[in-house]
Structure 1
Amino acid sequence: MDFGRVEDPRQRDRIDWSLPSLESAEERAQLERLARAAARDPRPPRLRVGMPVWGEAAWIGRLYPKGSKGTETLREYARHFDTVEINSTFYAVPPRATFARWRDAVPEHFRFCPKLPQSISRSVAGALDTRELEAFVSGALELGDRLGQCFVQLPPAASPACLGELDALLSAIPRALRIAVELRHEGFFRERRLRPEIVDFLARHRAAAVITDTAGFRELAHASLSSTRALVRFASSDDPAIDDRRLRDWAARIATWFASGLRELDVTLHAKDPLAQLTMARSLSTHMNEALASRGLPLSVPVLETIDERQRALF
């Protein structure tokens, strides 16, 4: 994820990496609303952790057996993670047969999170263009019960003045698709939170809020919930020590959400260095399991093991 990336270490050291407090009246009201919604939702809670890709060459020989390629890498990926973003759909919608092949390569608990095509999401900032929507919906539904949250990533140019177009888009998407929305214009935020009227707007459409924790736009780490589900996209700072502290804070926040009634969360980990992604996954699972256990929650995240670690465990 290049959006919000800060490469200068001197700038990075001046960033406030903290998450918004839960102590404000606005946040307390959000947790109360979450608890009320959860009381009407009988589903068991689901926490999934994954990446924005599965075919990463740097993971072959470390996470995947040597020689893995094509659909084999997806099968291996699904042994370690239980969700993945499909960012390729942002650029072109593949044939339905491709979606079906992906579906058949993963276990029942796995979920795909496809991104709506840019031809649709970017048009929200101008004249709405939904010509690719039917193809996207058809392909996404081919994933069957492996379909997770679909997300709309609005461009920074899409301001609150474009809510009419966003309203039309969300109204056009079938209810069979569970939508999450990533907002990138500063006008949607106030004091590092989504404005209450925006949270209400998303809630009316049964849309979750995408929360993107990236260095250069701290408002996107707003931690606002409009649904009993959410999608968190975590972008590395390029500093392992900073990332470990941030992931610890996220683990505590996520445990609080689930204790308050959150039903479903996908967390995806982004980094320029693909090996750093594996370190982040291990860090998050460690902190997450500690935070969940401290609250007595019946959830856990598998701890990532590389091929070398699995082999050493045999001796």
Structure 2
Amino acid sequence: MKTLSQKYFIGLAQWHHPEWYPDLADKRAALPRYAEHFSSVEGNNTFYGLPAPSTLQQWHEETPSTFRFCLKFPKRITHELKLRHCDEEVQNFLVHAAQLKEKVGILWLQMSHQFAPSDLPSLAKLLSQLPQEFSYGIEVRHLNFFNKSDEERAFNRLLLERGINRVAFDTRTLFAHPMPDAVTQEALRAKPRVPLHVIATGQHPMVRFITPLDYQLASSALDQWVNKAKAWIEEGKTPYFFFHTPNNERAPQLAIEFAQRLAELEPTCAPLKAWTTPQPELF
């Protein structure tokens, strides 16, 4: 039987932000503090380079047994080699991920908008070679993966056959409220404006949810995800939810709001520990 904390996993895009822990003199102490509140993290740092084994060991030691790292495949694999001729790079990534032992969550591929349905044979080949000891996910951005045609059906069918989770990136409310501030404008340029197609193709649906700076503007969409989380949990799935705002300053509060609403709707899910931002000492 799953414990309360294992019904689903929840986290943010990062575990350190300059506005989150102003009392911390050393940002390397941020992970244990983060893990007091959240049960997972996106792990975007592996997109740019693989940490040293000693760093991975430290991450393992600094987090509780229920914590999960959802590491992103390196851009060398997804963006530069485009899933072709990358056996060595994939193996190296998996060896590094294994250093986290039982704390490996979803290992996920974030593809560029140039990765199209015509590239599915390369994806199928890569997926066929992945070891089954891990869970995997993929986020796509090419609009033909959202056209409800044979192209999208072929993509979903491949994921269903392999048990690979289709990652949903919900940017609806960000684009619905295009505020003129610089932070929001940068987010609008950086984030994909793609349709939202919600389908559980694996055991661990993964959702990335970004809101405007004022995350209360996304309250209705948040309720939709609360209801979907409850449905997935009732189906026996263990979803992952990651929360963003344009600068992520208030992403912790957004995630905690989601968890509170879910706990009210689904009593088997516990709310998260309250978030407070300690003030730095002046003297």
SS of aligned partner of 2:167: strand
Q: Distance in 1 between matches of 2:88 and 2:125?
A: 13
Contact 1:124 / 1:158 at 8 angstroms: preserved in 2?
Answer: no
| 1:151 equivalenced with 2:108 (yes/no) | yes
Is 1:205 matched with 2:155? no
Q: Is the 8 A contact 2:36 2:273 kept in 1?
A: no
Segment of structure 1 superposing worse, 215-224 or 262-271:
215-224
Looking at structure 2, the residues matched to 277 and 131 of structure 1 have their Cα atoms a distance apart, in angstroms, of 36
1:281-306 CA-partner distances (Å, limit 9, x unpaired)? 2321222112223xxxx222314331
Structure 1 portions without partners, runs of 5+:
1-41, 309-315
Which of residues 45, 53, 70 in structure 2 aligns to 1:96?
53
Alignment partner, residue 37 of structure 2 = 80
For the 8 Å contact 1:59–1:274, the answer to whether it is kept is no
Per-residue CA deviation, residues 42-77 of structure 1 (Å, 9 max, x unaligned), is 86762111011112111014xxxx135243210010
Deviation at 1:250, TM superposition (A): 0.8
Out of 238, 247, 253, the position equivalent to 1:279 is 253
Counterpart selection for 2:10 from 35, 49, 64: 49
Task: Please list the CA deviations of residues 206-247 of structure 1 after superposition, one character each: whole Å capped at 9, or x if unmatched.
Answer: 211111101355645211111121111111233333222221
Which of 267, 288, 297 is the aligned partner of 2:241? Answer: 267
Contact kept, 8 Å, 1:99 with 1:142, in 2: the verdict is yes
Please give the TM-score of this superposition, normalised by the length of structure 2.
0.83
Compute the displacement of 1:153 (Å): 0.6
Unpaired runs of 5+ residues, structure 2, are 176-191, 279-283
Match of 1:300 in 2: 270
CA distance in 2, matches of 1:70, 1:240: 26
Note the alpha carbon deviations across 1:112-164, whole angstroms, 9 max, x for none. Answer: 00000011112464744343212211110000111111100111111110001
Partner SS state of residue 107, structure 2: strand
Deviation of 1:176 after TM superposition, in Å, equals 1.8
On the 8 A contact 1:150/1:177 being kept in 2, the answer is yes
Query: Structure 1's 276 and 256: CA in aligned 2 closer, same or farther, altered over 3 A?
Result: same
Residue identity (%): 23
Give the 3-state SS of the residue equivalent to 1:142 in structure 2: helix
Match for 1:58 among 19, 31, 41? 19
Please state if 1:223 is matched with 2:198.
Answer: yes
The letter for the 1-side match of 2:225 is W
Of the three residues 121, 124, 127, the one matched with 1:170 is 127
Contact 2:232 2:239 in 1 (8 A): no
Partner Cα distance (2:37, 2:262) in 1? 16
Q: Which amino acid aligns with 1:72?
A: A
1:243 aligns with 2:218: yes
> Aligned equivalents of 1:124 and 1:221: distance in 2?
27
Q: TM-score, normalised by structure 1?
A: 0.75
Deviation at 1:257, TM superposition (A): 1.9
In structure 2, relative to structure 1, the CA distance for the partners of 1:249 and 1:124 (3 Å cut) is farther
RMSD between aligned residues: 2.4
Per-residue Cα deviation, 1:246-283 (whole angstroms, up to 9, x for no partner)? 21111012112222x14211111112233321231232
Preserved CA contact (<8 Å) 1:212 1:234: yes
CA contact (8 A) 2:253 2:275 kept: no
- SS of alignment partner, residue 70 of structure 2: strand
How far apart are the structure 2 equivalents of 1:300 and 1:43? 12
Equivalent pairs, count = 258
Q: Match of 1:253?
A: 228
Q: Counterpart in 2 of 1:8?
A: none
Match of 1:6 in 2: none
Instruction: Tell me the distance in 2 between the aligned counterparts of 1:113 and 1:134.
Output: 17
Tell me the alpha carbon deviations over residues 181-201 of structure 1, each in whole angstroms, 9 at most, x when there is no partner: 111111112359x93332220
The one-letter amino acid paired with 1:286 is Q
